[in-house]
Amino acid sequence: MLKTLIRRELLDNLMTFRFAAVLLITLLLVVANTAVLIQDYEQRLESYNDAVKMHQQDLRNSKTYSTAHLFVDRAPNPLSIFNVGLDKRLGNLIGIYHGFMPTLWDAQMHGTDNPFIAFFSSIDIVFVFEVILSLMGLIFAYDAIAGERERGTLRLVLAQPIGRGQILLAKYISAMACLLVPLILSLLFALLLLTRSMPLSTADFLRIAGIVLTSFAYLSLFYLIGLLISVATRRTGTALMLAMFIWGLLILVYPNLIRATVNPGGDIQARVKTAHNQIQQILDEYERERQKFLEKEGIAEEMSEFSKALGFYHQADVDPVTLTTYIESISVLSEIRPDFEKYIPVAKRYYNFVEPLATRTVEKAWRIRKQALDEIYVKQATTDRILLKLSPVGIYDAATQAWAGTDLSGLRDFFDASRRYRKIIIDYLYAKDAFASREWFVADKGTVDWRTLPQFTFQRSDVGINAKRALPDLFLLLLINLIFFTIIFLIFVRSEV
Amino acid sequence: MIWHITRRELYDNLNSLRFALTTMLLLALMLTNAIGHLREHPKRMQKYNDAVSESMTRMASHTDDSLYKLAQEGPGKLYKKPSSLYFCAAGGDPVLPDTIEGGSPFGYSEHLRGVWKLKYPDANINMKRVGPDVTKLDWAFVIGYVLSLIALLFTFDAISGERERGTLRLMFANSVPRHIVLIGKFLGALISVSIPFTLAVLINLLLISTSNAVHLNTEAWGRLGIIFLIALLYMCLFLALGLLVSARAQRSAVSLVILLLIWITVVVFMPSTLASIASEFSPPMSSEPFWKRRNQIQEELWQKYSRWVWSGKVDKETLTGKSEFFIQDAEAEERLNQERLTEKVAQVQHARAITRISPATLLQHLLESFAGTGFERHLQFVENTHRYARQFREFVADTDRSDPESLHIIGVREGMTKKKILPEAVPKFEDTLSLSKDFNTRATELLLLVLFVMVLLSGSYLAFVRVEV
């Protein structure tokens, strides 16, 4: 019996004009946007490759350790086509050196493109789904029960020996089967375009599968919202109006309304100020130890002479807004004048003392900065995201971002890797005894050999980790689905025809 | 007869669920908009005023020193004045730079510095914000997205619904001409959507104008009037679209599906997708060739003038050589900066021109222009700074010329007047907006919008006249 019902519903749904229209428009929008997105991705990839090449060239041109330009670049994420998240917005270029802790708040853009283009909002596949799938779900559901009630066929169906739950289930299954067609078909087209222009790994396909699964849960939720309206109303006209207004509210209005009404909480200025003072103290302590060393070596008095000999440039500072802490001491000179040759042993000792000290100081400051950054930037963003999750769009967006690896954690993975790379570089410098070498500050007797320098590699996080980040939201979606279905069932069972 | 039909439609609508929902939704949105503006605008003005006064103080310290210092350091940072109608259309203003730098002379050494030039900062994408992306809740959003959707929801069943119920046949049996019926229906829908919208707008403006935080002058009220009329025109467009589809479709459910899909494509997707496609063309000069050209020009000038630049002599020839070097160098860089800006602007303009197919973009552009925000406004600001830069340079030259003891060699200390200058005498930067100019630049878009409305209205008339019951 259930089978007969499903077949009837399926035929009813498939043969309608709305199905054809929805299918057509979904295909059109997804394919058109995918083509644009792929082009955009390729451009970003090209700009990334150029940047990597340029930075390698820069490094090879650096003759001494202290003037080395070591930069790492973040490659664009191919899955940003599905959900761009923070992939395009945050910086993708960061400097690596021992006197500085790289974070995403210090990153810059290597892109050479026109920043005014940021003026136009960019669209990804998930955004297309957000709008279209939700509308599809509601359009297919609003008259499912109310329509039959109006036409009087509901009475007929209920006269048969079938449970009311079965009727609901049949409607749900057949409608979902129908609605999946545009979703799957448009995704297939998108994948066809994707695989033609970029290689996707197995892991990427698994991530895409996760996105599809989440899209499915999202679609189902909107169908159930529509069904709930349909069960609860007497007339299709009313059901339709309610459905449309709820759609507008959830998709268009709420995500923008909530951000406009919520004030950034807490006194951020004060928090920045305390952290700034703490870091400044650490830097002051560093400066004192440096001065102590200079006095001990007996060059404190002839400092100007000493810095002239070394072409010395020294700076230790903390940014009052982003709390970026850096200690820089560079020797800008091509050769040592013969009468300054006497400073060489002192200079070697100086760098050998100061640079490890700078490394330690920055690491100490980092512990303070990390906490402060979390409180200043991350906490606010997390609250915003949680508030957004009151609309299914927020949950869907968060989950797909996690799958694609373009969410905040995914981006932070890269900067964690860059901090690990900094550690590796420091170890390498120690192993080479670079701080105490002549090549640290001058290249007149042999330049630095950069060929043995460890290379930076960054692998996007494992699918398992993506799944771990996405599953809570996915389960939340499924749970809401279940709750809605139960409510619909309860209302339908008690309703009079 | 028209009034009879209009009244009937009006009564029908006013008692409906959609009218109640519309009123609530629009009121909530406009209230949020007003409250947000009242909260943010004073901060924005404060920031602007602080920045301007800081710039002024810096300039005053330069005038205290000498005319030379003024000619060298320039007017400093020039700021874009925030519009008091920001709540109508934020128009990407958070992305657009709010300042242009008139200063930053190139330092060749501690004692040798060039003269000032204009420098255009890039759009400031906030790379530090890790929160989710949202659209600003301004009038442009409320009208562009919400009001257009509501207009469709009021008209999708205007004709197809009557056909379904069979009342269309009844109406045609009377001796009422069809176009009268259509106009009546159109007016009925127009009035019933206008009521909640006008109410929401009035409450929004009441809140904003009674507060002390925001001051609206006569011109601002004129602009608001124009914006309101544009909103009504935009609404008419979607009402006409709704009637057209409703007249053609047999069932109202079908009519709604068609309308929603059209709406999504035209309002939600077309602006962004078309902009992305269009911006692939005509990319601007990237930074590497830019710096290459910049260095090349500097090198050439360097070769030509280096024997004077490093010379410590103070005879007229050396000073003239130095001055020429500084001025030409600054001019060359300024020209290059401008060229690059023009290229970037051209790319955006292309994209903007193509997206005009979508009425939602037309509305966005119109609202931005009349609210004094957005891209066109930014270009106006750039133009204002150019005018000011000329004025400033003329002032320096004139002041120097008025002193007979001076050698009249701009850009070097020894060649310029040593007389005191009054800070009040220096021209101030005035960032102005003119309404008539806005009208002229936006005339095409306004006409395009009117054209869309006319086409859709006549389309719905034709469709309705030929309709069979």
Is B130 part of any domain? no
- ipTM for this model: 0.86
Q: What is the mean pLDDT of each run of 10 residues along chain B (469 residues)?
A: 86 89 93 89 90 90 84 87 88 80 71 79 71 81 94 91 85 83 92 95 94 85 94 96 92 89 91 83 74 86 81 80 85 88 87 90 92 88 91 88 82 80 84 78 90 94 82
How many CB pairs below 8 Å do chains A and B form together?
174
Minimal C-alpha gap between A200 and chain B (Å): 24
Gap from B318 CA to chain A (nearest CA, Å) = 31
A85: left (phi over 0), alpha (psi -120 to 50) or beta: left
**Which pair of structure tokens corresponds to residue B84?**
């008091």
**Direct distance between the N- and C-terminal alpha carbons of chain B, in angstroms, rounded to an integer:** 21
Q: Would the CB atoms of A114 and B279 count as touching at under 8 Å? A: yes
Residue B129 forms part of a structural domain: no
Comparing alpha-carbon positions, the chain A residue that sits nearest to B288 is A112
Domain count of chain B? 1
Contact between B130 and A381 using a beta-carbon 8 Å cutoff? yes
Q: A25 to chain B: which residues are within 8 Å by CB? A: 261, 264-265
Please write the tens of the pLDDT for every residue from A235-292.
888 898 899 999 999 998 888 887 666 665 567 788 889 999 999 999 999 999 998 9
Q: Which of A117, A129, A262 to mutate to test the interface with B (most CBs of B within 10 A)?
A: A117
Q: CA of B243 to nearest chain A CA: how many angstroms apart? A: 17
pLDDT of amino acid A464? 92
Question: What is the C-alpha separation between B85 and B88, in angstroms, rounded?
Answer: 6
B464 in any annotated domain = yes
Pairing verdict, β A71-73 and A93-95? antiparallel
- Put simply, the answer to whether B127 touches A381 (Cβ < 8 Å) is no
Q: Using CB atoms, pick whichever of B123, B137, B153 lies closest to residue A116.
A: B123
Which residues on chain B are in Cβ contact (under 8 Å) with A380? 131
C-alpha B244/C-alpha A487 separation (Å) is: 39
- Residue A264: per-residue pLDDT: 57
How many percent of chain A have pLDDT more than 90?
A: 43
C-alpha A96/C-alpha A74 separation (Å) is 13
**CB neighbourhood size of B44 (10 A):** 16
Nearest to B131 among A117, A381, A411 (CB): A381
- Chain B residue numbers with beta carbons less than 8 Å from the beta carbon of A31 are none
Decide: B228 and B114 in contact? Cβ < 8 Å.
no
User: What is the pLDDT at residue A403?
Assistant: 95
A240 with B345: Cβ contact below 8 A: no
Interface test with A, best of B261, B340, B358, B365 (most A CBs within 10 A): B261
Nearest chain B residue (CA) to A34: B273
Tell me if B216 is assigned to some domain: yes
Report helix angle B252-263 to A17-61, nearest 10: 10
Q: Is residue B141 part of a domain?
A: yes
Count of beta carbons in the 10 Å neighbourhood of residue A454: 10
B303 lies in a domain?
yes
- Asked if the structure places residue B278 within a domain, the reply is yes
| Burial label, B3 (beta-carbon count in 10 A; 0-12, 13-18, 19+) | exposed
Compute mean pLDDT per 10 residues along chain A, 497 residues long, and list them. 83 85 91 90 88 89 85 92 88 89 86 68 87 92 88 84 86 91 93 88 93 95 95 88 92 80 68 91 92 84 78 84 86 78 84 91 92 86 88 94 93 93 93 86 80 89 92 96 95 83
pLDDT for res B232: 96
CB contact under 8 Å between B347 and A86, yes or no, is no
Look at residue A238 in the predicted model and tell me its pLDDT.
87
DSSP-derived 3-state class of residue B134: coil
Nearest alpha carbon to residue B139 among B364, B402, B330: B364
Nearest chain A Cα distance for residue B344, angstroms:
6
Residue B128 falls within a domain, yes or no?
no
Report the alpha-carbon distance of residue A42 to residue A47 in Å, rounded.
9
B420 is in which domain, residue-wise? 1-122+135-469
Is A248 in Cβ contact with B25 (below 8 Å)?
yes
Q: What is the pLDDT of residue B109?
A: 61
The pLDDT value recorded for residue A409 is 92
CB nearest A256 (choices: B16, B135, B261): B135
Contact state of B123 with A242 under an 8 Å Cβ cutoff: no
